[in-house]
Chain A
Amino acid sequence: MAVPSIKFDTAETLISAYKMPTGAKWSDATRTNAIARLREMGAPNKRDEYWKYTDPSALTAIPAANAALFENDETPMFDSIDRLRVVFVDGVYDPAQSDDLSGENVVIETLGDALGKDIHWAKDLFGALEADGQNPVPRPLATLNTAVASEGLVIHATGKVNRPIAIRYVHSSESSDAMVHHVIKVEEGADITLLESGPGAARFNSVVEVDIADNGGFHHVRTQGRDHERKTVTHMFARLGRESTFKSFTMTVNGVLTRNDTVIELTGDDAHATVGGASAGDGTGFHHDDTVFITHDAVNCESRQVFKKVLRNGATGVFQGKILVKPDAQKTDGYQISQGLLLDEDSNFLAKPELEIYADDVACSHGSTVGAIDDDTLFYLTSRGIPRQEAQDMLVLAFLGEAIEEIEDEALAADILDRMDAWMKRRQG
């Protein structure tokens, strides 16, 4: 197939639309290199196999379309727990609303500060995990982010970090077009929890690069604000060392376009990765896409992917998940499940669950199911006096609950479940 030149034209438009920030020599070199890589790979296009089910044009349009602010009276996510709070408004760090960036066993800097230092550990990670994650499929929007994002956090966990780092992304301008880039290094035996919430901006492009050393742990829970018109693309690149743990969970509700790309590489033996997601779309044009690519490149590693999507009133849910087992990754245990629950005739579920396996001593499986609520189960509940609507809500929540259960911290899981419950009861929007 000839590669349409529009890919490259769009890449040029993107490169000239954003200004490359300057910092230390090494970070400037990384950014210049990212621009060169972006030129070579081109911008994503709906004809790309990797974007088969999601049209990326709203993510590459210059200028970004406006998005109305979403008024609601909900208390912000994660407010009830003891955390280190960091606020970004339209993608810009707001020290006034944030806690002091210091904590036990952790050093937190802004991206701008870290990238301005001549000597910094982030040199080996910033843009490096993103560049590694470009194979075999290019992810140009992450490369663009590396090249031009000036905001973000650089986090160094040196031991067990007791208070989660909770980042709140506030959407305050209808015409905001934001990019944030976080770099996280989890040292040997260290452990950290990152919480993210909020819509971020009218158009929000985020990249998180996480390097987890041997025996390290990284926990991530994210809720993406339900501003109807927001467009979001996120990339998480994680590299796992020996006996390390990576757990990420995302709750997505509404939003006209959400694409969450998670790229994980298990490079040390006996590592474990879980990626989970529960999403709900209620309304025409709401579209969310979870794309996961897990590479097993070490012995005796385990990976789990659990995604549940509830869709109604014309919403679309997409899941693309892949497990790649390299030739020497023996004793791999790979599991993947993606399920769609369609509450009416107008909604769509599209899935591409893939396995690519080059080692023989493995146990890999994937499953995918799509359907409506089971009539028999509904009948069972209604025959016991539960009103139909309530029964349906119970079943939907139980369905999503199977993904939410993947969150290790029970208090966080309960919080997410309550939030989903409240949203379900609200209906419409």
Chain B
Amino acid sequence: MSEVIVKEGVDEETVEAVKSIAGKYKYGFNTDVEMEYAPLGLSEDIVRLISEKNEEPEWMLEWRLAAYRRWLQMEEPNWAMVEYPKIDFQDQYYYARPKSMENKPKSLDEVDPKLLETYAKLGIPLKEQALLAGVEAPEEERKVAVDAVFDSVSVGTTFQEELKKAGVIFMPISEAIKEHPELVKKYLGSVVPQSDNFYATLNSAVFSDGSFVYVPEGTKCPMELSTYFRINAENTGQFERTLIIAEKGSYVSYLEGCTAPQRDIAQLHAAVVELVILEDAEIKYSTVQNWYPGDEDGKGGIYNFVTKRADCRGDRAKVMWTQVETGSAVTWKYPSCILRGDDSQGEFYSIAIANHHQQADTGTKMVHLGKNTKSRIVSKGISAGVAQNTYRGLVSMHPKAKNSRNYTQCDSLLIGDKCGAHTVPYIEVKNNSSRVEHEATTSKVDDDQMFYCRQRGMDEEEAVALIVNGFAKEVLQALPMEFAMEAQALVAISLEGSVG
């Protein structure tokens, strides 16, 4: 842990945090900016208001209202192994934006310095610069374009010009609705329909912003794209919507990060992510989810109810989900792959860490529809404190998905005897040329490993962090480099206070 290369602007802070602030959530600060809220609660008027604030066309409002009416008839799902007090959906704000964003800044220079400062503090450079410090790389390489979402609005998107040259559209979805309505109309809700599930339907009604990416045919996106979500306002839900379309033969790697201030009252986050992958295209989607997890006694934290789904529509389409889930009080999230095209591929790599009172119920669905489709699931769940961590997944081989293949491995690691680790896989095979293999193990941090590390002078927490990083290595390796380093540090922070 001594020499970690981290993103510019945060290296000192991160290292400090890792080394000194035991068990503290380092993104828990609050930015004091003047905010503008929609009235408390949810109604058709609120839906109309959000639509109006975003200056949306009529069809978008109708789409939202249809979702809202549908939502009123739906019931909250209760099958996940998570427990939380009943959410009062009328006691939330559904829209909050910094006052300074009322007249959209034309460039990053016009954005309120306080907001820029927030992102700098979070280690997200909203300047157009190479991301990694201390890495020997030619100037042109390893750039990351960032869309920064603050509560309900996007405050800025970097490298838009350069991306435009390559033909890549990367902008807040609120702008895409106005500038590229034909694309949004065609794809929005085509992977996760408005009526998909309770939280996705709620999101369809009230989503305020998010990112939109369109990579044209045959284009390899020249840089990594990234969205950084920050919840700042109190008692406000964040509902972002991400839509990524990879046209034939294109490629894009997308990173997503999220944090929130430390507050005593739990906050709701219900996002929807839709990925459309056409013939021979590939999307890599990586998430480091570090929402505020609540304090050591389980007070506060984010309820993270997210629907993420990728649709491999074309032959040989490929998608890879990688997630590091360390935050949130409650996580309910199943990034899924619909493998519709022949020879398409889906991969899911996940590390879920639950400490203190955190509860995570997460996994994936691999739905094999096309011939010769392949999927791979590697899930590592780590529980500490009194946390509950559940892997829930589905592998489904339809009768027509001949010669398909799945391999699933889900391992659980328990640190301490008060926590729980659970595995709930569903395996449905309806043709005989496919092969499905599922393996799961549950173990604890091995005494011999601990002894070995301790004997060599590591303290207990360092030793646990090292062992856990080893346990999660297969997933960490699947992350883009920038994230892999951050994730490793995060693993250590998340587990602080879990031993002794």
Binding site for B on A (CB under 8 A): 1-2, 49, 52, 327, 330, 340, 342-345, 347-372
> Given contacts A354-B423, A357-B422, could you give 16 more A-B pairs where the C-beta distance is less than 8 Å?
A1-B77, A1-B78, A345-B399, A345-B432, A349-B429, A351-B438, A352-B424, A352-B427, A355-B423, A356-B423, A359-B417, A360-B414, A360-B415, A362-B414, A362-B443, A363-B443
> Nearest chain A CB to B16's CB is how many angstroms away?
31
Our pick among B75, B79, B422 for the contact of A356 (Cβ within 8 Å) is: B422
B437 within 8 A of A: yes
How far, in whole Å, are A209 and B416 apart by their CA atoms in the complex?
Answer: 36
Report yes or no: B423 in contact with A327, Cβ–Cβ below 8 A: no
Our pick among A52, A345, A354, A355 for the contact of B433 (Cβ within 8 Å) is: A345
Report yes or no: B427 in contact with A368, Cβ–Cβ below 8 A: yes
Report yes or no: B432 in contact with A330, Cβ–Cβ below 8 A: no
Contacts of B458 in A (CB 8 A): none
**In the complex where A2-B75, A350-B428, A355-B422 touch, is A365 in contact with B440 (Cβ < 8 A)?**
yes
Our pick among B420, B421, B429, B437 for the contact of A348 (Cβ within 8 Å) is: B429
> Nearest chain B CB to A303's CB is how many angstroms away?
13
> Nearest chain A CB to B242's CB is how many angstroms away?
29
Report yes or no: A351 in contact with B432, Cβ–Cβ below 8 A: no
Q: Which residue of B lies closest to A340 (CB)?
A: B429
Interface of B is mostly: strand
B99 within 8 A of A: no
B23 within 8 A of A: no
Binding site for A on B (CB under 8 A): 75, 77-79, 81, 397, 399, 402, 412, 414-444
Q: Which of A2, A49, A358 has the most CB of B within 10 A?
A: A358
Our pick among A52, A342, A365 for the contact of B442 (Cβ within 8 Å) is: A365
> Nearest chain A CB to B393's CB is how many angstroms away?
11
How far, in whole Å, are A362 and B444 apart by their CA atoms in the complex?
Answer: 7
Contacts of B427 in A (CB 8 A): 349-353, 368, 370
How far, in whole Å, are A389 and B423 apart by their CA atoms in the complex?
Answer: 39
Show 19 residue pairs from A and B whose CB-CB distance is below 8 angstroms, ordered by the A residue: A49-B79, A327-B418, A330-B417, A351-B426, A352-B427, A354-B424, A354-B425, A355-B412, A357-B420, A358-B420, A360-B415, A360-B419, A364-B441, A366-B438, A366-B439, A367-B438, A368-B436, A368-B438, A372-B433
Contacts of B436 in A (CB 8 A): 368-371
Q: Which residue of B lies closest to A350 (CB)?
A: B428
How far, in whole Å, are A360 and B416 apart by their CA atoms in the complex?
Answer: 6
Report yes or no: B432 in contact with A342, Cβ–Cβ below 8 A: yes
Report yes or no: B429 in contact with A357, Cβ–Cβ below 8 A: no
Contacts of B421 in A (CB 8 A): 355, 357
**5 closest Cβ pairs, A-B complex:** A342-B432, A371-B435, A360-B414, A355-B423, A351-B427
Report yes or no: A353 in contact with B425, Cβ–Cβ below 8 A: yes
Contacts of B428 in A (CB 8 A): 348, 350-351
Q: Which residue of B lies closest to A355 (CB)?
A: B423
Report yes or no: A344 in contact with B432, Cβ–Cβ below 8 A: yes
Report yes or no: B442 in contact with A369, Cβ–Cβ below 8 A: no
How far, in whole Å, are A361 and B428 apart by their CA atoms in the complex?
Answer: 31
How far, in whole Å, are A218 and B174 apart by their CA atoms in the complex?
Answer: 67
Report yes or no: B414 in contact with A357, Cβ–Cβ below 8 A: yes
> Nearest chain A CB to B381's CB is how many angstroms away?
10
How far, in whole Å, are A52 and B439 apart by their CA atoms in the complex?
Answer: 22
> Nearest chain A CB to B54's CB is how many angstroms away?
34
Contacts of A360 in B (CB 8 A): 414-417, 419, 444
Q: Which residue of B lies closest to A356 (CB)?
A: B422
Contacts of B425 in A (CB 8 A): 351-354, 368
Report yes or no: B429 in contact with A352, Cβ–Cβ below 8 A: no
Our pick among B412, B415, B426, B437 for the contact of A369 (Cβ within 8 Å) is: B437
How far, in whole Å, are A116 and B468 apart by their CA atoms in the complex?
Answer: 61
Report yes or no: B441 in contact with A361, Cβ–Cβ below 8 A: no
**In the complex where A360-B417, A360-B419 touch, is A371 in contact with B442 (Cβ < 8 A)?**
no
